[in-house]
Chain A
Amino acid sequence: MKTTRRKFLSSSGAATAALGFPSIIPSSALGNADRPAPSNRIVMGGIGIGNMGRGDHGAFLGKNDVQYVAICDVRKGAMNQGKAKTDAKYGNKDCKAHDDYRELLSRDDIDAVHIATPDHWHAQIIIEACRHGKDVFCQKPESLTLGEGSLMVETAKRYGRVVSGGSQRVLQDYKGTVLRCWNGSYGKVKSINVNVGPMSKPCNLPSENVPDDMNWEMWLGPAPWAPYNSKRCSGSFSTSGNSWRSYIDYSGGGMTDWGAHHFGGATFAVDVRELQPNEVILDEIDGKKFVSLRYPNGIEITHNKPGVGQMHVGKGEGQRKGKEVPKYAGSGGITGDFIDCVKTRAKPFRHIEYAINTMAVPHLTVAAYKLNRSLKWDAAKQEFIGDAEANRLRNRARREPWQI
């Protein structure tokens, strides 16, 4: 008997068969040259359909091997728009709209989800999705704290899930640098510099009336309680006070938002995606502070090193044997890579472990700036060495009743 994609991903095929087939089977249900049969499509839902979520929704909806069945957002407007767009695509009313992601995750018919909520929700939803047996595509930055990162990696591994981060720029924006590092043109690479910022800051915006279409308690979720303010929860790309990306409780600011791309490109270029730094050195040149992150293999990533350009590569001595640059699986960029990996169970390009190793870079950098001192990091134990105070920064208590 031929094994379908759906049977391969889950054993729910028997339950579907028990419901029986309709007497008239549309050609689309059997698949055709353009579209696989439903049993071979990846059934997906989306959680967080604002700015980046809208783009991801469109990307997955546009794939012939995806059947999009559910939308979730805490803003009714975004939720209804997402449902309408999905229904229009398929010419039916089948997309179910949810305002609580837990309802969506509990559905047995969904294979995979994409997540584009604010960052303070990422770990909670990724971990719960894995516990429900879903594969996950999550927008960057994947983690808000160091502690969340290791939990996400552990959980994905525990359940054998395909979990991909969502920085499309890592492979696309730094091609020249990456190629020269990987093909050996630079010889042995010693260092790379990333210029990015700012760090997120405390938020104390005044209270405003909660709009009728907003579930404010769910927007806040595990973050500390605060009154509604439109700037506090705006999904705009500002990191200077006009969106959640500016504020500590929801984001690491530009350091993690653009940092996920730039540090992602840097770690990829110098080939340390499988590692985390073990030293975080706070230094100063002409009164300007900067951070150097040293890896166990001797490679160094610097942050905002004065006088050094973006993605500038420091060349070491000796030759490096050229290697082929990794690329996406399948077609359709990073979302296509994810779908292909869901089918093959291979590691996606921004596999969660690589994503978390990348995110460790800005998190460690921020810790050094905040504490105003150099730090040593034990990646295996996921703890700072000999610095109890720094270790307190690894985790934050989650607002009740949220727990991971």
Chain B
Amino acid sequence: MLDQALESLKIYEWGVDPKAVKSIQDAVVASHGDAAARKKLESTLADVLSTDVPRAAKDIVCRALKTIGTAHSVPALAKLLHDEELSHMARHALQTNDAPEAVKALVGAIDKASKKIKIGIISSLGARGTGVPVAPLAKTLTDKDAEISTAGALALGAIGSTDAAKALGSAKVNDTNRIAVCDAMLHCAENMLAHGKKADAKAIYGTVLKIGPTKAAKIAADLGVKASA
């Protein structure tokens, strides 16, 4: 059944009944706890990504690798990160892949990515939250394109660490990224509060109030100052 489904991928265009490839998802579930079967399945699926199967087929493969992907499938997915059509589905698989190699691949793809794809990669790094280096995201805060610095700010907020807060504190704030920078700093401050670091949180709220927050962010920072008293 799995072999048939893998064969079906070669002609899996939009419009083909998804039942043709259902066995791939079944194999994902059935191989849980069987390391050898998983490795083989991951390897087979990763190989499909370098072939000329239709986009819909690669979409299916990325969805399966989201569940079972390890460091082994990272190189095949990383090659898709600059592909306008497939970058998102590659991130779909990489964003939740626990391997540090997945982070390395995402970080390594930032610089050469087009604007839209760069925003996507930055957002996936932020969504991972932990195990992501702050420096590459801090660098995006200085990008001349305010949409990229906005993405960088939100990602740093999602990470929420002391280093992330420090980077955000020195961000150049403009009308385009103001909401994101404020939100990210508020996010970091909440993280400090959750870890009992009231003084650190209060300092971040103070910075938000100094940088000219939006009305909504000012209300939030005022609430935060009270919470960190």
Report the Cα distance A288→B41, complex, angstroms: 29
Complex: how many Å from CA A160 to CA B87?
Answer: 36
Per-position 1/0 for B133-163, Cβ under 8 A of A: 0000000000000010001001100000000
Q: State whether the Cβ of A90 lies closer than 8 Å to any Cβ in chain B.
A: no
Give CA–CA (A177, B147) in the complex, Å: 51
A175 within 8 A of B: no
Residue of A nearest to B86 (CB): A225
Interface status of B7 (Cβ within 8 A of chain A): no
How far does the Cβ of B213 sit from chain A's closest Cβ, in whole Å?
A: 11
**Which A residues are in CB contact (< 8 Å) with B98?**
388
- Which B87-112 residues have a C-beta within 8 angstroms of A? 87-89, 91-92, 94-98
Chain A minimum-CB-distance residue to B215:
A133
Q: Map CB proximity to A onto B148-182 as digits: 1 under 8 Å, 0 otherwise.
A: 00010011000000000000000000000001000
Chain B contact residue count (CB 8 A cutoff): 51
Query: Per-position contact with A for B56-74: 1 when CB-CB < 8 Å, else 0?
Result: 1001100100111000000
Known: A158-B186, A224-B89, A401-B116. A371 touches B32 (CB 8 A): yes
Q: Which of B89, B98, B217, B220 has the most CB of A within 10 A?
A: B220
Task: Fill in one digit per residue for B69-89: 1 if any A CB lies within 8 Å of its CB, else 0.
Answer: 000000000000000010111
Contact flags B214-229 to A (C-beta < 8 A → 1, else 0): 1111011001000000
The answer on a CB contact under 8 Å between B18 and A399 is no
Q: Does A373 contact B (CB under 8 A)?
A: yes
Task: Known A204-B18, A370-B29; judge A224-B59 contact (CB<8 A).
Answer: yes
Given contacts A133-B216, A399-B120, A403-B126, contact A201 B154 (CB under 8 A): no
Convert A357-373 into 0s and 1s, putting 1 for each residue whose CB lies closer than 8 angstroms to a CB of B.
00000000000001111
Hey, what's the 0/1 contact readout for A188-206 against B, CB within 8 Å counting as 1? 0000000000000111111
Is B88 touching A207 in the complex (CB atoms < 8 A)? no
How many chain A residues touch the partner (CB < 8 A)?
Answer: 44
Q: In the complex, identify which listed stretch (B9-17, B42-50, B195-203) lies at the interface while the others stay far away.
A: B9-17
A397 touches B120 (CB 8 A): yes
On chain B, the residues within 8 Å of A206 by CB distance are 14-15
Question: A397 to B88, Cβ gap below 8 A?
Answer: yes
Q: How far is the CA of A371 from the CA of B89 in the complex (A)?
A: 21
A130 within 8 A of B: yes
In the complex, A346 has a CB within 8 A of chain B = no
Cα A283 to Cα B98 with chains together (Å): 29
Q: How far is the CA of A370 from the CA of B183 in the complex (A)?
A: 35
How far apart are the CA atoms of A160 and B89 in the complex, in Å? 35
**For B95, what are the chain A residues with a Cβ–Cβ distance below 8 Å?**
395-397
Partner of A400, one of B16, B17, B116: B116
Give the shortest distance, in Å, between A228 (CB) and chain B (any CB): 10
B2 at the A interface (CB under 8 A): no
Check B87–A159 contact: CB distance below 8 A: no
Contacts of A173 in B (CB 8 A): none
Does A88 make an interface contact (CB < 8 A)? no
Complex CA distance for A295 and B197, rounded to whole angstroms: 31
Chain B residues near A400: list those with CB within 8 A: 87-88, 116-117, 119-120, 123
Q: Which residues A128-157 have CB closer than 8 A to chain B?
A: 130-133, 147, 154-155
Give chain A residues whose Cβ lies under 8 Å from the Cβ of B94: 397
Asked if A11 is at the interface (CB within 8 A of a chain B CB), the reply is: yes
Closest Cβ of chain B: how far from A149's Cβ, in Å? 14
Q: Is the CB of B14 within 8 A of A226?
A: yes
Cα–Cα, bound, A147→B124 (Å):
13
The answer to whether A159 and B216 touch (CB under 8 A), given A204-B14, A396-B92, is: yes
Tell whether A10 is near chain B: CB-to-CB under 8 Å: yes
CB distance from B18 to the nearest CB of A (A): 4
Residues of B in contact with A (beta carbons under 8 Å apart):
12, 14-18, 29, 32, 56, 59-60, 63, 66-68, 85, 87-89, 91-92, 94-98, 116-117, 119-120, 122-124, 126-127, 147, 151, 154-155, 179, 183, 186-187, 190, 214-217, 219-220, 223
19 CB < 8 A contacts A-B: A10-B215, A154-B190, A204-B18, A204-B56, A205-B15, A224-B59, A224-B88, A373-B32, A389-B68, A391-B96, A395-B96, A397-B123, A399-B88, A399-B120, A400-B87, A401-B119, A401-B147, A402-B123, A403-B155
Beyond A154-B187, A155-B183, A372-B32, 10 additional pairs, beta carbon < 8 A: A147-B127, A158-B220, A159-B220, A160-B219, A205-B14, A224-B88, A226-B14, A389-B68, A397-B124, A403-B123
Closest 9 CB pairs of A and B: A206-B15, A400-B120, A133-B216, A403-B123, A392-B96, A397-B91, A397-B95, A401-B119, A202-B18
